[in-house]
């Protein structure tokens, strides 16, 4: 039996402002921090129920990622470190929107529908980013867990992917790693150093990297990680939170959307730079060339680098494993073309949102997924992982064994639970070192089509419904025809619109043969949206 009196007592301390309504979207709940207290408390409650139902540890992360400092958010992490199951996203929305007197009924309904055995114990792990509101909100999560008698561990300040890692470790008997931040650093640094040992050349200068940490948690954690890394990797951390504001004029999202470097970041000609987002689950690379032109190496280029590397290794091992890259509609057309035509790597398109990409990537032995904005990782099927580890141990042929070992180290270096800026950074640096490539050589794989992303405020963004992995609008009637007509007029053009899952806007994307055409096309499409 649930102790509703206790729940009610706690809930009174986190009362829901009447009328307020929110939705568990692509990235959990996200809104102004001052409207979030009842939601995070209730996510503490929900995490306990999910934990009892799955008899596993569940994670609750307090963050609003790349959103402004005033915002905050909360997301739940499922047993294998994955995003919350879709049915539970709906419960989360119901629970967050229930008025105080309905709370008991909503909780009982969830228990009944999901056959939650209240006798089971519950364990919840909690983490938070560096926002000024995060500490208090994570305290409210703790209240929620306590109200239902759940046990918990508060990891305090961690990156989002670190908390995903903890959840996975705790639910896999330590097979994935130790569930501590030290365990995380040790696992990654060990794999990184093993990979670097396999590098034939360590050309000087290639292992220097400037990292804009968006004035967020990434700065803290990258500094901690550095103690575990070899001296040959020289990292210069900028936007570490000591002067600037979180995500303000910096960070991966700013760089990607504005297609320019963080304001105030000093960049030498051809210097290799990168940006994390506010909770360090995204990374993009960039540099300025001698002519002062800005070059962005986004999630698409990262996916291309990683998949090229992995495909070459798979060929060397002689293993016949399936490999594919999963993108979204935002992937630059040039990247898709390069992967399919030059690399002969199959590409699939999924809906925006990591859970969709993650889901598709699981269909392959090796599934590489990245959103253009720099959020992504690689998934290895259990069978593939077993085969690779077995070969790394037992293969007689030296060349094949070395390749298998490299794959094994890659498996250990990549955070398979979710996109992870720190883990991605280390993998990218290792690949560049192994290939003896500069950032310019990597960039030269293909040239992006000029593109533009815009957001449009509309009365009701839900009026737009899409199909074909969001590349076609089905409603409102006539919109897609208008877009088609605009696209037809321009060379190499592509455009689409979709309602954002994290902001109250409609996003417009356009690419074309020239920047001017891409800008104009995006503008005209946004006019068609009104």
Residue 195 or residue 368: which is nearer to ligand NG1 going by CB? 368
C-alpha to C-alpha distance for 463 and 474, rounded to whole angstroms: 10
Query: What CA–CA distance (Å, rounded) separates 68 from 215?
Result: 11
Residue 467 CA, chain-centre distance (Å), reads: 23
CB of 356 to ligand NG1, least distance (A): 10
C-alpha to C-alpha distance for 504 and 510, rounded to whole angstroms: 20
Q: How far apart are CB 354 and ligand NG1 at their closest, in Å? A: 7
Distance CA 192, CA 204 (A): 18
Considering the candidates 51, 65, 275, 334, report the single residue annotated as catalytic.
65
Residue 364 or residue 369: which is nearer to ligand NG1 going by CB? 369
The pairing of beta strand 273-276 with beta strand 283-288: antiparallel
- CA-CA distance, 241 to 430, in Å (whole number)? 27
Residue 149 vs 501, nearer CB to ligand NG1? 501
- Nearest distance in Å: CB 374, ligand NG1: 9
CB of 138: closest distance to ligand NG1 in angstroms? 19
Cβ closest to ligand NG1, residue 438 vs residue 500: 500
Quote the least distance from Cβ 87 to ligand NG1, whole Å. 20
Residue 352 CB, nearest approach to ligand NG1 (Å): 5
Between 272 and 375, CB nearer to ligand NG1: 375
CA angle 387, 368, 349 (to 5 degrees): 130
Q: Which two tokens stand for residue 252?
A: 């991966």
**Angle made by CA atoms 23, 501, 511, in degrees to the nearest 5:** 175
Residue number, 57 or 502, with CB nearest to ligand NG1: 502
The distance of closest approach from Cβ of residue 445 to ligand NG1 in the complex, given in angstroms and rounded to an integer, is 22
Residue 373, CA atoms < 13 Å, CB-side half-sphere: 22
Main-chain phi, psi angles of 463, to 5 degrees: -65, -20
Residues making contact with ligand NG1 (CB under 6 A) = 26-27, 65, 330, 352-353, 371, 373, 375, 500-503, 507
Q: What's the distance, CA 256 to chain centroid?
A: 14
Structure tokens belonging to residue 408: 């094994």
Q: b or e along 177-193 (b: 16 or more beta carbons within 10 Å of the residue's beta carbon)? A: bebebebbbebbbebbb
| Closest of 245, 244, 242, 262 to residue 253, by C-alpha | 262
Is-catalytic flag, 274? no
Instruction: Select 150 or 353, whichever has its Cβ closest to ligand NG1.
Output: 353
CA–CA gap between residue 431 and residue 436 (Å, rounded): 8
C-beta of residue 405 within 8 angstroms of C-beta of residue 198: yes
Classify 60 in phi/psi space as left (phi over 0), alpha (psi -120 to 50) or beta: beta
Alpha-helical segments (H) within 318-397: 333-337, 354-361, 382-394
Active site members: 65
């Amino acid at each position: 039996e649930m102790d509703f009196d206790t729940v009610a007592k706690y809930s009174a301390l986190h009362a829901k402002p009447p009328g307020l309504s929110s939705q568990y979207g692509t990235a959990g709940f996200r809104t102004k921090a001052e409207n979030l207290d009842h939601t995070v408390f209730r996510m503490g409650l929900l995490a306990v129920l999910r934990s009892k139902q799955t008899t596993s540890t569940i994670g609750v992360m307090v963050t609003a990622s790349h959103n402004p400092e005033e915002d905050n958010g909360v997301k739940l992490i499922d047993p294998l470190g994955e995003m919350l199951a879709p049915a539970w996203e709906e419960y989360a929305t119901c629970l967050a929107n229930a008025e105080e007197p309905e709370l008991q009924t909503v909780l009982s309904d969830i228990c009944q529908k999901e056959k939650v055995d209240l006798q089971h114990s519950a364990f919840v792990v909690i983490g938070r980013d560096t926002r000024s509101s995060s500490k208090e909100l994570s305290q409210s999560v703790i209240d929620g867990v306590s109200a239902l008698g759940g046990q918990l561990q508060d990891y305090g300040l961690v990156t989002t992917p670190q908390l995903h890692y903890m959840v996975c470790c705790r639910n896999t008997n330590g097979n994935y790693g130790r569930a501590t931040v030290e365990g995380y650093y040790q696992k990654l640094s060990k794999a990184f150093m093993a990979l670097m040992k396999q590098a034939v050349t360590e050309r000087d200068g290639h292992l220097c990297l400037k990292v804009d940490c968006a004035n967020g948690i990434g700065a803290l954690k990258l500094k901690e990680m550095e103690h575990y890394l070899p001296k040959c990797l020289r990292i210069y951390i900028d936007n570490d939170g000591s002067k600037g504001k979180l995500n303000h004029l910096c960070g991966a999202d700013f760089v990607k959307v504005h297609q320019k470097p963080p304001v105030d970041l000093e960049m030498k000609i051809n210097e290799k730079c990168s940006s994390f987002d506010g909770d360090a689950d995204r990374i993009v690379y960039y540099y300025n060339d001698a002519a002062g032109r800005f070059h962005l190496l986004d999630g698409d280029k990262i996916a291309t680098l990683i998949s090229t590397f992995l495909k070459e290794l798979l060929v060397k091992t002689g293993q016949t494993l399936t490999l594919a890259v999963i993108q979204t509609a935002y992937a630059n057309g040039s990247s898709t073309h390069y992967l399919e035509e030059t690399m002969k790597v199959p590409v699939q398109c999924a809906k925006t949102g990591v859970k969709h990409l993650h889901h598709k990537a699981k269909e392959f032995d090796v599934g590489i997924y990245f959103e253009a904005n720099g959020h992504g990782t690689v998934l290895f099927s259990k069978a593939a992982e077993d085969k690779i580890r077995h070969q790394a141990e037992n293969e007689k042929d030296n060349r094949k064994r070395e390749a298998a070992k490299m794959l094994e180290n890659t498996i250990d270096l990549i955070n398979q639970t979710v996109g992870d800026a720190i883990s991605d950074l280390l993998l990218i640096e290792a690949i560049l070192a192994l290939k003896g490539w500069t950032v310019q050589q990597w960039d030269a794989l293909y040239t992006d089509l000029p593109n533009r992303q815009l957001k449009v405020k509309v009365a009701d963004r839900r009026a737009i419904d899409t199909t074909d992995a969001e590349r076609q609008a089905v409603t409102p009637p006539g919109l897609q025809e208008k877009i088609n007509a605009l696209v037809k007029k321009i060379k190499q053009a592509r455009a689409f619109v979709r309602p954002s899952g994290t902001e109250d806007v409609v996003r417009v994307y356009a690419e074309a043969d020239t920047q001017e055409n891409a800008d104009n096309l995006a503008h005209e499409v946004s006019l068609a949206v009104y």
